[in-house]
Chains A and B, each alone.
Chain A
């Protein structure tokens, strides 16, 4: 997948306020799905759907609990955020270059 389409998926996953709250909770520490559902006061099936989308877009990853393999633990994947950072940096570099070129062109055409 290209960096742009990965980034698009990250942003789509985070367009939802519930999913952003999941990320907020996972930023503190990894958590169980049930714990997340309780924290957001939504049903477990609904939370599963949100977690599925976050997982598919690479924002979170799941692990088995080391003491109880039936329990799944979710954690944040910081790599997904670094794609956004990269886009911001590239876009800023692009426009600063283009604006400088635009200014230089206006200087030249004035003479």
Chain B
């Protein structure tokens, strides 16, 4: 286990079509999850503004909107990366979602990688003066072993 989530699924479409439906028809396939609004149920109507720098926004029944995040990578048929904020996150908090599209015969393997705060690749700040890759790798390895070690003990309660 690491501080990121990875899932993949094969879908009946070629990569271009899968990308198009994923981005342009998200309002039609997205299932309500209650993540973007503090009180009332429903996620609103989700929409991607196509292209890098575009936003993923949801619009609620009363017309108000919530920006879930900005798109940082937009490669139709290949890859999509966007920031992800939920209603209970503070303004500075953001996670990141990367969606991959890979042809498998006539179908497409769609993968989702949702990275927590500490595993988001740094485009902005340098961390501890270490090269970015090494730092991230170290953090990821650390999390993997720590969480494995702690897994059973969290269920039991305290460490000592």
Contacts and interface: CB of A to CB of B under 8 A. Distances in A.
A and B are interacting partners = yes
Interface residues on B, range: 35 or more
Given A78-B157, A106-B21, A88 B5 contact: yes
A4 B112 contact: no
B133 interface: no
B103 interface: no
Interface stretch (A11-19, A32-40, A44-52, A64-72): A11-19
Contacts of B160: 29-30, 75
Interface in A44-97: 75-78, 81-82, 84-85, 87-88, 91-92, 94-97
B64 interface: no
A23 to B, nearest CB: 7
Given A15-B127, A17-B128, A102-B110, A85 B117 contact: no
Interface residues of A, number: 47
A98 B25 CA distance: 13
Tell me the dominant secondary structure on chain A's binding face.
helix
Nearest to B156: A78
Given A3-B88, A20-B142, A102-B110, 19 more contacts: A5-B88, A5-B93, A8-B89, A17-B135, A27-B149, A27-B150, A27-B159, A76-B159, A78-B150, A78-B158, A85-B147, A85-B154, A87-B116, A91-B5, A97-B31, A101-B30, A106-B18, A107-B12, A109-B25
Given A11-B117, A84-B147, A101-B29, A106 B12 contact: yes
